[in-house]
Amino acid sequence: MGANCFELSFNGSRILLDCGTHPKKEGKESLPAFDLMNQPPDAYLISHGHIDHCGAIPVLCRRFPGVPGFATPPTRHIVDRMLHNSVVVMDMLAKERGISGYPLFDHYDVGYAMRFLSAREFGAPFNPGENTDIEATFIHAGHVLGGASILIRIPGHTLFYTGDISRTRQWLLGGCARPNKALRVNTLVIESTLGATDDDGKCSYEEETCRLGDRMRCVLERGGAVLLPSFALGRTQEMVNIVAQLQETGQIPHTPIYTVGLGRAVYEIYDKFTDYLHPDAVLRPLSHTHRLGNVWDKGLVEDLLRRPSVIIATSGMMTENTPSALVAQAMVRQSHHGIFFVGYLDPDTLGYKLLHAGPGDMLQFELDKPPVEVVLEDIGQYRFSAHASRSELVDIIRCVDPEHIIYVHGDPDALSWMRENAGNGARAFVPEIGQTVTIEA
Ligand SMILES: [Zn+2]
Ligand SMILES: [Zn+2]
């Protein structure tokens, strides 16, 4: 996984697929290798609003003023919100940790970039650049609200970029659209997030919901609070509705649900675009949850933890200084609460360290504060993936049956497993940053 940004060039035309920042790098290091681009692209296309797919748009637009961008209508709104939030986070990191190069852009840059980012509907082919012979279409990818795969047709060649893709239904979102059998795809660019994860015996979304509900009930019945660290886009909205469902079916006691920060703002966008959710999905109004105020106020958090409640807070991997880390810092000093991770945890993150901590271990939740002793033992992880599992990725390749496959968006283990085992006999590529893959049409 990295700064997702792929340049597609053809007969002198150039299109960028995604324009993200690297989630584990900081400052200018987190940007795509824009220096390799000596000419402006004709356009850029954004698959969805996660920062690793859209976080560098304002830098691109400052470098190449006026370059047009396209995204689905929900994604356009989400990108706007995510980028303004990035400015706030980068300002904070510049102050707290003096990271050079931050902020990479300001609110004005975001406003400028958004003027040139247009919305295009799913399933409606469009020409992204006036001087190009390219037709692009956004196809439902599941994953998060507005998430799209991108089908590109150029004369004599068809390319399908999955973006981040999910095959199975989540509570709010349907799975990706099935590839049209009649479609002849020459080149498939496929994400590989779960390529290293064997999914034999994987629980379904419903089974995982039940397992989480049982564990939450124990905590709430003994008077504790439950923290569910969740990504702002996707998982927060899913978890609010999963918890509401568990309450309505009596699986867990009725307690207040609290949400905090960016996840609430994105929830408003889900509310605005309910037509893009699964037709059977019931999106509870945001008023179903309480707003958790200033999480830096230790008194407020300690007071909240005196009564059973469910707290859904960003960030999902519990990065230091984020709301989930600040709430956890107060929780781990007591033994009756529960902290349950509901997404992927990178081994370098505080969340991963907390999941694997034993009683008495010391962990730092705030950057400039001393570490805290972990007393809490009821810490767990549940698999609510928004990415295609390994066998689903293999199945997508079988269905699309391309002549060339480019594996992207995965750790080295995932990429190499996919390259060795997932293919259909097609030519396979795992490009390095800056590497050009040449395909003769
Ligand atoms: Zn994503
Ligand atoms: Zn991604």
- Residue 150 sits in the same domain as residue 286: no
- Residue 44 sits in the same domain as residue 62: yes
- Residue 171 sits in the same domain as residue 315: no
Helix, strand, coil shares of the chain as percentages rounded to 5?
30, 15, 50
CATH number at residue 336: 3.40.50.10890
Question: From ligand 2's centre to the CA of 338, what distance in Å?
Answer: 28
What 3-state class would DSSP assign to 429?
Answer: strand
- Residue 76 sits in the same domain as residue 150: yes
Q: E strands of 261-391, at which residues? A: 290-291, 310-313, 338-341, 362-363, 372-373, 379-381
Question: From ligand 1's centre to the CA of 210, what distance in Å?
Answer: 25
- Residue 210 sits in the same domain as residue 358: yes
- Residue 335 sits in the same domain as residue 406: no
Q: Give the pLDDT of residue 367.
A: 85
- Residue 129 sits in the same domain as residue 180: yes
Question: Is residue 1 domain-resident?
Answer: no
Question: From ligand 2's centre to the CA of 276, what distance in Å?
Answer: 20
Please name which ligand lies nearest the alpha carbon of 343: 1
Specify the pTM. Answer: 0.96
Question: From ligand 2's centre to the CA of 10, what distance in Å?
Answer: 25
Q: Give the pLDDT of residue 1.
A: 57
- Residue 219 sits in the same domain as residue 323: yes
The CA R_g of the chain, rounded to the nearest whole Å, is 22
Decide if 302 contacts 330 (C-beta within 8 A): yes
The residues placing their C-beta within 5 Å of ligand 2, an ion, are 52, 164
Give the residue numbers spanning the domain of 316. Answer: 205-381
Please name which ligand lies nearest the alpha carbon of 78: 1
Question: From ligand 2's centre to the CA of 30, what distance in Å?
Answer: 14
- Residue 59 sits in the same domain as residue 103: yes
Q: Give the pLDDT of residue 307.
A: 97
- Residue 21 sits in the same domain as residue 165: yes
Question: Is residue 434 domain-resident?
Answer: no
The residues placing their C-beta within 5 Å of ligand 1, an ion, are 50, 164
Question: Is residue 36 domain-resident?
Answer: yes
Q: Which residues contact 92 (CB under 8 A, 6 or more apart)?
A: 321
Indicate the number of domains in the chain.
2
CATH number at residue 126: 3.60.15.10
Report which secondary-structure segment, H or E, holds 161: strand 157-161
Question: From ligand 2's centre to the CA of 163, what distance in Å?
Answer: 7
- Residue 211 sits in the same domain as residue 173: no
Question: From ligand 1's centre to the CA of 238, what distance in Å?
Answer: 14
In angstroms, the CA 401 to CA 305 distance is 53
**pLDDT tens track, the chain, 441 positions:** 578 999 999 888 999 999 999 988 999 999 999 999 989 999 999 999 999 999 999 999 999 999 999 999 999 999 999 999 999 999 988 988 888 889 999 999 999 999 999 999 999 999 998 888 999 999 999 999 999 999 999 999 999 999 999 999 999 999 999 777 778 999 999 999 999 988 876 788 899 999 999 999 999 999 999 999 999 999 999 999 999 999 999 999 999 999 998 999 999 999 999 999 999 999 999 999 999 989 999 999 999 999 999 999 999 999 999 999 999 999 999 999 999 999 989 889 999 999 999 999 999 999 889 999 999 999 999 999 899 999 999 999 999 999 999 999 999 999 999 999 998 899 999 998 888 998 875
Question: From ligand 1's centre to the CA of 199, what distance in Å?
Answer: 20
In whole angstroms, how far apart are CA 65 and each of 58, 61, 112? 10, 5, 9
- Residue 410 sits in the same domain as residue 348: no
Question: Is residue 17 domain-resident?
Answer: yes
